[in-house]
Structure 1
């Protein structure tokens, strides 16, 4: 049976397990939402990319019963068949709280095994231990700030028809940034807040129309990864850039933040995992 969001632990009272329980992870196929935006099963995705998860609340016991803590970064390929519902991810991480492990390597190996199984593809795990916490960098998305524009807004659901570009003029390359992206959890309706960067090369995108479009997610219910893929495909179809990358940094919930990046730049490097001020 295929997992659907109504079967997930979201929006339900959940007992917190403190013994190792990988079965708590709740995978959800990506394809259903991709079908909604015209990326049917069997079609070639118009992007590649990753979802960068940061987990700030990981703790376990060493072999002598002493608590340990770390920060984890989990990098998930965008072509993995599944996402993992974030509350189930949190419950899974909390199942380590009273679990004794021989080493950090043992923890990393379990995370690698369980999360790769959940997402359906090999994920990359890195752990930052307390002696390295001071080396964790912060930074903001670079680019021209769309939020400076003084615009009227009266539409709060995604409307790709708002997007406009100068299709008959010389192409440009630029990065545009907004801190006004807000969507809502697909199940609970709770708000999700993000900053987003649009990096493109092609016909110049009308900035006011792009900002109105992004604000249009304000009452939209969808998971982070799905919002970013919708933004990418809408801009690609409406504005026809030759190159496009969309990167969103969402604020954390339950000790987790999710930061999807989608790109069709053949030369694009994976974006830095710099924690923003709101994260």
Structure 2
């Protein structure tokens, strides 16, 4: 079910929306969006942070991430968690969705995928702090859950990254936290 509170009617091949002003939406519902089927960081877009003088976390939970094992070509499924403290720029969520979708036919190990995501977001936004955690579905009875983070060098965020890395995932897995 669509989370937006409006009804969509198809009338003579055109979508008409009621109950909400949707003039400013450029990607959502756009039938001309092209999905990349190979890794493509060029789809990522940013917008200005309206609160650059404040530290706050932005978190994304991406439960439908898929990539391919580079050896077997079998699909690997994961939930990708991205948390960052923005500086001047922020990633636009629709472009992030399209970017993550571009991994669909990309062959890469779990650890590589998670680190590539972080590196691309650092290059795009230059955040104060960022962490990316991939919780991959077990294959062969083993799950691989790589975590990486970054804090801007020479700042308190570098110390924060060191501390969070050392304290990351200190609790053992349970069947309920997947």
Aligned length: 131
- Secondary structure of 1:214's aligned partner: helix
**Pairing of 1:24-173 with structure 2 (within 5 A):** 152=33, 154-167=35-48, 169-171=50-52, 172-173=56-57
Give CA-to-partner distance per residue, 1:212-232, whole Å, 9 cap, x none: 101110000011001111111
- Secondary structure of 1:211's aligned partner: helix
Shift of 1:170: 2.9
Give CA-to-partner distance per residue, 1:159-197, whole Å, 9 cap, x none: 111112224643352111111110001111000000001
Contact 1:174 1:201 in 2 (8 A): yes
1:235 matched to 2:132? The reply is: no
Partner of 1:187: 71
Contact 2:118 2:148 in 1 (8 A): yes
Partner of 1:132: none
From the superposition, tell whether residues 173 and 245 of structure 1 become closer, same or farther in structure 2 (CA, over 3 Å). Answer: same
| Counterparts of 2:172 and 2:40, CA distance in 1 | 30
Which TM-score applies when normalising by structure 1? 0.43
Contact 1:248 1:260 in 2 (8 A): yes
Shift of 1:150: 6.1
Which TM-score applies when normalising by structure 2? 0.65
Unmatched segments (≥5 aa) in structure 1:
1-148
- Secondary structure of 2:84's aligned partner: strand
1:264 matched to 2:162? The reply is: no
Select the structure of larger CA radius of gyration.
1
Unmatched segments (≥5 aa) in structure 2:
1-27, 152-158
| Counterparts of 2:172 and 2:37, CA distance in 1 | 29
**Which has the higher mean CA deviation after the structures are superposed, 197-206 or 252-261?**
197-206
- Secondary structure of 2:82's aligned partner: strand
1:198 matched to 2:79? The reply is: no
From the superposition, tell whether residues 232 and 264 of structure 1 become closer, same or farther in structure 2 (CA, over 3 Å). Answer: same
Contact 1:160 1:238 in 2 (8 A): no
Contact 1:176 1:197 in 2 (8 A): yes
Contact 2:49 2:90 in 1 (8 A): no
